[in-house]
Structure 1
Amino acid sequence: MASCQQNLPDRFGVLNDTSSFVANKVSHRGMVLIPAGAFNMGANDKDGHEDEYPQHKVKLSSFWMDVSEVTNAEFKKFVDATGYITTAERKPVWEEMKKQLPAGTPKPPDSVFVAASLVFYQPQSIDGLDNVAQWWRWVKGANWQHPHGPKTDITGKDNYPVVHISWDDAMAYCKWTGKRLPTEAEWEYAARGSLKDNLYPWGNEDIEKGIAKANTWQGSFPISNTNWDSYEGLAPAKRFKPNGYGLFDMAGNVWEWCSDWYRSDYYEAADELATNPIGPPDSYDPMEPKIPKKIVRGGSFMCNASYCKGYRVTSRMKTSTDTSLEHTGFRCVSSN
């Protein structure tokens, strides 16, 4: 099964200085309290990727979680208050970029150092599903305010999830709100919605049986989308039934950043009964060993059974902290 974000190009930049941010007092408005408990983390079905095994028991304290992904309107309040500039809005910096490249890599021409982000384009035909460049493009001027480039905007989409957000951007927002990103364990536990060992946030029924359950891709990815769920691209927040904890869109719509570093072998070394695990101390992806990556969860509007089942509660993907894409956003949690 192909990975939804395998070998994507990386975006490089210098972080804003967030040291001067004044964290707001945490408000639990728009959040739900996830009760303390223990669960079996990881896959117990045949559809899991290798890094989803073995399943292992995890114990968590209670925490608060946003009922939906952070929206354009919410992110705009943060930008207006702080002047924050997202990764996608800044030119890459060669001194940062070369740290993740093999020694001696020549500097590209200055013309490629432009503010840009990754945008999905639906091709008319493809040669297999291994080359993601067939449907992803770097687009100059694409960012959270201009999702498909300078000539597009988010007018009328205040309640859509904010996208083109890097992990660094999500962390900056969380710091401003006084919240944080969920750990991978917290995210999966919350996504399960109190259901034990089920495949999806709603249970075990196949995603395309019964009523529409999430915003995903129906048809032949990435060539044709039947729009059976009523959405071709992003959907507004809260358009599908919430899970057992009252959380919306824990499957599909946009991938969501977690706080954990990614290691392909992390589950193999996990404690039998870990309490509030925060993930490995560093990142290691054997496919791209020089690029530090963080976990994203939940799948997106691009997920399809023929390509990736990212909407499964155990599905885990990885992306470099400075990468931004049209189908990646986040939600926040708080411990108190």
Structure 2
Amino acid sequence: MTCCSPQRKAAATVAAVPAMPAVPSACAARDPLIQLPASTFTMGSDVPDGFAADGEGPSRRVRLRSFRIAPTTVTNRAFADFVRATHHVTEAERFGSSFVFDLQLSDALRHASPAPAGLPWWRVVEHACWQRPEGPGSQVHGRPDHPVVHVSWNDAQAYAAWAGGRLPSEAEWEFAARGGLEGRRYAWGDELAPQGRAACNIWRGGFPDAPAPDWQPGPVAGDAFTANGYGLYNVCGNVWEWCADVFSPDYHRTTPSVDPIGKGEGDQRTMRGGSFLCHDSYCNRYRVAARSSNASHSSASNIGFRLAADAD
């Protein structure tokens, strides 16, 4: 059983997302980025509670140059600014559909939307997109600070170029997500719910059809819960975050130990952080060392992204 997002089939019938002209980085400074110093840290994990095919290890020492990263994922408000300025059309809009977790939908829409093969808790929802995250009849009004979702890796790249930034490498992402805590499972330590309190937005209840009565499946505001030691919010759970890298399960064995980034010809791009659909009983990919991937043109109701940039 997996909470990870379905993958859209080949994008051959949809025009490529146009490149966006870069603007001065002051655009991104409306939500100032956090500058992190050049550092060496232990990346990855050797513990057996992950998934071998994900390639979380072997753990190793990695050196990074200084960089900047956003405290939150890109919000609906920020993405709306981008769309107004550029008239960008997301790949979900170009395809005419996107993947939505079924309990986020009305009964009528759930029954009218097909499930992808082998994933009955997902639906292919016509006209679902960043502006209509739960499909027709939904909207982002009232959720300006929630993470934008239904954005592909290509859409995220376009936003980052417009904002004068870039996507983080997965090494940068993991260093920032750890918040200065070496070798810990989560951004706050090793205990999932310190003192019995939820520290992140992951599945509560029985997956996939029995959520806890006091919890609604879906993203929460980008600055919900407590920030980690570097000031980043929601690096565990809430929404998956695209990274710049081409995904490979051999990442830790094949990339350099200084400023590594996954490269190659494949279309799979790395995602980090897990989402509101993860739970320790079947998918613990909300750990800071955990990895996943999806095709660069795919989108879903649990995938967003975070902006990064080179150091000042």
Equivalent AA in structure 2 for residue 233 of structure 1: G
Which residue number corresponds to residue 117 of structure 1?
A: 98
Which residue number corresponds to residue 251 of structure 1?
A: 236
> Counterparts of 1:70 and 1:227 in 2: how far apart (Å)?
29
Which residue number corresponds to residue 239 of structure 1?
A: 224
Which residue number corresponds to residue 280 of structure 1?
A: 263
> Counterparts of 1:178 and 1:77 in 2: how far apart (Å)?
14
Tell me if 1:210 matches 2:196.
yes
Equivalent AA in structure 1 for residue 19 of structure 2: T
- Per-residue deviation, 1:195: 0.3
Cα distance per residue 1:63-96 (max 9 Å; x no partner):
11100000000000000000000000013xxxxx
User: Residues 217-232 of structure 1: matches in 2 within 5 Å?
Assistant: 217-226=203-212, 230-232=215-217
Equivalent AA in structure 1 for residue 42 of structure 2: N
Q: 1:4 to 1:232 in 2, by over 3 A?
A: closer
Tell me if 1:87 matches 2:87.
no
- Per-residue deviation, 1:312: 0.1
Q: Which has the larger radius of gyration?
A: 1
Cα distance per residue 1:129-148 (max 9 Å; x no partner):
xx752111111000000011
User: Residues 1-336 of structure 1: matches in 2 within 5 Å?
Assistant: 2-5=1-4, 8-10=7-9, 12=11, 13-18=14-19, 21-26=21-26, 27-28=28-29, 29-50=31-52, 51-91=55-95, 115-122=96-103, 132-207=118-193, 210-226=196-212, 230-271=215-256, 274-283=257-266, 292-336=267-311
Partner of 2:119: helix, strand, or coil? helix
- Per-residue deviation, 1:7: 5.8
- Per-residue deviation, 1:206: 2.2
Structure 1 ranges of 4+ moved more than 4 A: none
- Per-residue deviation, 1:3: 4.3
> Counterparts of 1:266 and 1:120 in 2: how far apart (Å)?
29
Cα distance per residue 1:23-82 (max 9 Å; x no partner):
233444432112221111111322122211211111001111100000000000000000
> Counterparts of 2:289 and 2:45 in 1: how far apart (Å)?
6
> Counterparts of 1:74 and 1:139 in 2: how far apart (Å)?
24
- Per-residue deviation, 1:279: 1.5
* Preserved contact between residue 188 and residue 313 of structure 1 (Cα < 8 Å): yes
Q: 1:40 to 1:3 in 2, by over 3 A?
A: farther
Q: Size of the alignment, in residue pairs?
A: 295
Moved more, 148-157 or 9-18: 9-18
Which residue number corresponds to residue 109 of structure 1?
A: none
Q: 1:68 to 1:268 in 2, by over 3 A?
A: same
Q: 1:8 to 1:209 in 2, by over 3 A?
A: farther
* Percent of paired sites with the same residue: 38
- Per-residue deviation, 1:234: 1.3
In the alignment, structure 2 segments of 5+ residues that lack a partner are: 108-116
Cα distance per residue 1:201-224 (max 9 Å; x no partner):
011012475211001101111121
In the alignment, structure 1 segments of 5+ residues that lack a partner are: 92-114, 125-130, 284-291
* Preserved contact between residue 241 and residue 272 of structure 2 (Cα < 8 Å): yes
* Preserved contact between residue 8 and residue 297 of structure 2 (Cα < 8 Å): no
Cα distance per residue 1:74-128 (max 9 Å; x no partner):
000000000000000013xxxxxxxxxxxxxxxxxxxxxxx0000001399xxxx
Cα distance per residue 1:285-314 (max 9 Å; x no partner):
xxxxxxx20000001110101221121001
> Counterparts of 1:246 and 1:231 in 2: how far apart (Å)?
26
Q: 1:7 to 1:146 in 2, by over 3 A?
A: closer
What root-mean-square deviation, in Å, do the aligned CA atoms of Structure 1 and Structure 2 show? 2.1
